[in-house]
RNA sequence: GCGAUCGUAGCUCAGUUGGUUAGAGCGCCGGUUUGUGGUACCGGAGGUCGCGGGUUCGAACCCCGUCGAUCGCCCCA
């Protein structure tokens, strides 16, 4: 193209309805997270590379080929965060947050992964994230999942189900993994090329392969349930019965595994139901929220053994699913202020400012002739316009036009906030009632 | 890293087997009562057809390369 610089591949400039949906996801998250008493935490977007390399696992794709790493001027290797959990764990250890344990943390922001962009996947993407650190009880898992469920529900997203599995404790997981390797190695030549790779690198992943050649052998593969210790089984039972009590719908997904090394016990993903509207909107990216328990992570960063559980969800993916069934709110209908003439424009600033300080959104039309200003009022979605020039101001009034009915009434200047606001609130309430 | 499709006005796209000044809708600006919008009518601005090279008398159209986008595989939110 020309000399104008382009945005970097896999990054996006979000504007308009997409940006509104994005903000709606974040606002909903912030509101619900307070109901569950999760505390807000802010962290750097970059860390020493070892923070991610050691915790996520050297052999995972994220660490081996998807990190944005660079050397700073001191020659130290730094990395833009590819996920939240590792950085939160590091912050927990560096700041001695053990003193707050068990601590419930929530954050959101940008993450970076050097991947091929496609629908619902970007190189800079955004997540909301929730973690409970220092709690080994299954009740922590339940509360965390209940919050996830409520957020999705309050976003108006339907047709999404919680898929739940357990990976057992460390020993259970290792025994299961060994049995899986043995099972698949016997038929290695008949597996897909990808799965032959996975056999060495990440055998659990063969279980959710999309390749038909693999699926034949997945059905009779060893199940985690055969390897669960009594404790691990009791833990999982407590999680599932807790979810039932909390009214969170879930389904068992025996072959659900998570990619990263640090997961133990509970693993879960919220996935659109097959054939649902949500599934169609997401393309081949199916998971909108995923997480699990990571009891081993703190040790990999040199901390004391610390149980923890958490999840993260892609804001862009959630935003794609947000419905338009939001009730009309008073902010959707600004008051249009339409001054005519220079002295009226000054008064318009005064009136606008009073209305805004009173909590009402105001669109002030200050360009072009009256016709242009009225067009502006209309395209701003205003329901009422305040129109006034010298002749009105001399009389100490403004004209209030109902833009739906076209009816104009006169308002005395001193009555401006109250009369207008009362009129507008009434109209919005009527709209709300009509939309129910 | 691999594969497929695609790149024409701000946006969505049309452009017949290569043929002369490249079109439409929407949006934008202006006008149809210079103090009144949503509908309608009129006018206008805006494109070296992603970029570079090649074939040809002639390329938006064919070929090669390159950059970018989209979708899928891997992986993942």
Residue for token pair 């039972």: A237
Is the distance from CB of A386 to CB of A399 less than 8 angstroms? yes
What confidence tens digit (pLDDT) does each residue in A334-344 have?
A: 999 999 988 89
Higher pLDDT, A185 or A395: A395
User: What average pLDDT score do residues A270-297 get?
Assistant: 85
Mean pLDDT on A363-384: 89
Which of residues 321 to 380 on A have a Cβ less than 7 angstroms from any strand B atom? 340, 368-372, 374-375, 377-379
Lowest mean pLDDT among A20-29, A54-63, A340-349, A355-364: A54-63
- Asked if the Cβ of residue A3 lies within 7 A of any atom of strand B, the reply is no
Interatomic distance A377 CA / B26 C1' (Å): 20
Give yes or no for residue A108 having a pLDDT over 90: yes
- Strand B near-CB residues (< 7 Å), A 130-149: none
State residue A62's pLDDT score.
74
Indicate if the pLDDT at residue A375 is higher than 70.
yes
Q: What is the pLDDT of residue A328?
A: 66
CA distance A314 to A197: 28
What torsion do the CA atoms of A221, A169, A64, A195 make, to the nearest 10 degrees? 0
Q: Specify the pLDDT at position A385.
A: 94
Nucleotide nearest to A195 (CA to C1'): B74
Q: Are A235 and A265 in contact (CB under 8 A)?
A: yes
**Interatomic separation, CA of residue A124 and C1' of nucleotide B23, rounded (Å):** 38
Convert the pLDDT of each residue in A202-261 to its tens digit.
788 888 777 777 777 887 888 889 889 999 999 999 999 999 999 999 999 888 887 666
All domains in chain A, ordered by first residue = 17-169+229-321 (3.30.930.10), 330-435 (3.40.50.800)
Least confident of A219-233, A234-248, A271-285, A358-372: A271-285
- Looking at the predicted structure, is the pLDDT value of residue A2 above 70? no
Write out pLDDT tens, residues A47-77.
999 999 888 777 777 777 888 988 999 999 9
Q: Are A291 and A311 in contact (CB under 8 A)?
A: yes
CA distance A132 to A101: 9
CA atoms within 13 A on the CB side of A247: 3
Give me the residue label for tokens 């091929």: A116
Which nt has its C1' nearest the CA of A403? B37
What is residue A303's predicted lDDT score, i.e. its pLDDT?
A: 93
With a 7 Å cutoff on the CB, does A209 touch strand B?
yes
Residues of chain A (63-92) having a beta carbon less than 7 angstroms from strand B: 66, 83
User: Closest Cα partner for A292 from A414, A160, A130?
Assistant: A130
pLDDT value at A36 more than 80: yes
pLDDT at A406 over 70: yes
The contacts of residue A88 (CB under 8 Å, 6+ apart) are: A41, A43, A105, A107, A129, A131, A133, A310
Q: What is the mean pLDDT of residues A116-123?
A: 88
Q: What is the mean pLDDT of residues A191-205?
A: 78
Maximum average pLDDT range among A10-24, A99-113, A369-383: A99-113
| pLDDT of res. A280 | 78
Burial (0-12, 13-18, 19+ Cβ within 10 Å), A265: buried
pLDDT of residue A1: 35
Which A residues 35-64 have CB within 7 Å of strand B?
Answer: 60-62
| A410-422: pLDDT as tens digits | 999 999 888 988 8
User: Distance in angstroms, CA of A120 to C1' of B6?
Assistant: 19
Percent of chain A residues topping a pLDDT of 70 = 96
Tell me the ipTM for this assembly: 0.83
Output the average pLDDT for chain A.
88
pLDDT at A409 over 50: yes
Section A127-146 average pLDDT = 96
Rounded to the nearest 10 degrees, what angle do helices A85-94 and A49-56 cross at?
110
State the pLDDT at residue A326: 59
Q: Could you say which nucleotides of strand B lie within 7 A of any protein CB atom?
A: 1-3, 28, 30-31, 34-38, 48, 50-51, 68-77
pLDDT at A325: 53
For residues A303-328, average pLDDT: 86
């Amino acid at each position: 193209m020309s000399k104008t610089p382009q945005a970097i591949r896999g990054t996006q400039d979000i504007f308009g309805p997409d940006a509104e949906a994005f903000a709606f996801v974040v606002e909903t998250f912030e509101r619900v997270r307070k109901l569950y008493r999760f505390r807000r935490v802010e962290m750097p977007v970059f860390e020493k590379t070892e923070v991610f390399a050691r915790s996520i696992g050297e052999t995972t794709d994220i660490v081996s080929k998807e990190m944005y790493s660079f050397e700073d001027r001191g020659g130290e290797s730094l990395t833009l965060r590819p996920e939240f959990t590792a950085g939160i764990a590091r912050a927990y250890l560096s700041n001695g947050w053990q003193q707050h344990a068990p601590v419930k943390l929530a954050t959101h922001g940008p993450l970076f992964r050097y991947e091929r962009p496609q629908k619902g996947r970007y190189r800079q993407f955004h997540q909301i994230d929730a973690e409970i650190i220092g709690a080994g009880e299954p009740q922590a898992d339940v509360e965390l999942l209940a919050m996830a469920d409520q957020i999705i529900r309050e976003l108006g997203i339907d047709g999404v189900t919680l898929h739940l599995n357990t990976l057992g404790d460390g020993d259970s997981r290792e025994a299961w993994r060994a049995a899986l390797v043995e099972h698949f190695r016997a038929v290695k030549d008949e597996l897909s090329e990808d799965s032959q790779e996975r056999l060495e690198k990440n055998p659990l992943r063969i279980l959710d392969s999309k390749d038909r050649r693999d699926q034949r052998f997945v059905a009779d593969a060893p199940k985690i349930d055969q390897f669960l210790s009594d404790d691990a089984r009791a833990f999982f039972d407590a999680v599932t019965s807790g979810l039932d009590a909390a009214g969170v719908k879930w389904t068992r997904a025996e072959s659900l595994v998570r990619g990263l090394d640090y997961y133990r016990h509970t693993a879960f993903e919220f996935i659109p139901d097959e054939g649902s509207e949500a599934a169609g909107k997401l393309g081949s990216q199916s998971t909108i929220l995923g997480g699990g328990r990571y009891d081993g992570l703190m040790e990999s960063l040199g901390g004391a053994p610390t149980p923890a559980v958490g999840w993260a969800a892609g804001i862009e993916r959630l935003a794609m699913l947000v419905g338009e069934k939001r009730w009309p709110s008073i902010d959707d209908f600004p008051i249009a202020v339409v001054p005519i003439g220079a002295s009226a424009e000054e008064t318009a600033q005064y009136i606008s400012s009073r209305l805004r300080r009173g909590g009402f959104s105001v669109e002030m039309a200050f360009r072009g002739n009256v016709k242009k200003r009225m067009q502006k009022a209309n395209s701003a979605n205003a329901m009422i316009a305040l129109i006034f020039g010298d002749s009105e101001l001399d009389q100490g009034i403004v004209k209030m036009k109902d833009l739906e009915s076209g009816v104009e009434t006169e308002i005395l200047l001193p009555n401006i906030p109250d009369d207008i606001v009362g009129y507008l609130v009434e109209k919005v309430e009527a709209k709300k009632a009509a939309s129910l």
